Chains A and B, each alone.
Chain A
């Protein structure tokens, strides 16, 4: 069935280091993927997206990589800052046009 999951529920990274958050999906028909950041008590904030016809997309300090062969999505955050501490989750859009969300990874930046 269609599912979106994350490999690690928690991730701690030293301030200034790079972080990588992973996401696995099972629906090979999914054609659009989004990464969201959610701070405590707030709504999810759009970070970056990627279509299935791309392998990589870069934003400001963030890069999303898509490996369709193994159905894997990752979010790389460069030079992490304290403000990057949050829960990050991915979402995929499959053939039914609805988004399916993962449960999230909590990223903690260690000063």
Chain B
């Protein structure tokens, strides 16, 4: 898991509630990413940020929001507009040094909607 932390590990939410997932990295990486992982599927990109105060939508951004006020932090909010939020959420970060852009992942947060 390296220097990327996610909290909480497990999160339960009632329908209609917004919840925020935390992601912090101390790797001095410029880029950060949020993915969603469902059983039997590959990782799907929700949002990503290449630099502080800037972020872009990924492939499945609807019902999610992010902020990037600090280089080390990239919180993800799952809003009530997300119709099927139960999933395993993974945060990653990367650096462009060396031109490889390898993404390193945090331990994940499992969100369950009750």
List the interface of chain A (C-beta within 8 A of B): 4, 32, 34, 36, 41-46, 49, 51, 89, 91, 93, 97-104
Q: Are B42 and A34 interface neighbours, CB within 8 A?
A: no
> Which of B40, B101, B106, B108 touches A93 (beta carbons < 8 Å)?
B101
> Which of B41, B108, B110 touches A103 (beta carbons < 8 Å)?
B41
6 A-B contacts (beta carbon < 8 Å)? A42-B1, A42-B107, A44-B90, A45-B105, A98-B45, A102-B42
Q: Are B42 and A89 interface neighbours, CB within 8 A?
A: yes
Specify the main secondary structure of chain A where it touches its partner: strand
Specify the main secondary structure of chain B where it touches its partner: loop
Roughly how many angstroms separate A75 CA and B59 CA in the complex, as a whole number? 27
Asked whether B26 is an interface residue with its Cβ less than 8 Å from the other chain, the reply is no
The 9 nearest A-B residue pairs measured at CB: A43-B105, A101-B42, A101-B43, A44-B105, A103-B42, A43-B107, A43-B108, A43-B106, A43-B90
> Which of B1, B90, B101 touches A97 (beta carbons < 8 Å)?
B101
- Taking CB as reference atom, which chain A residue is nearest B107? A43
List B contacts of A100 (CB < 8 A).
Answer: 42
Roughly how many angstroms separate A103 CA and B37 CA in the complex, as a whole number? 10
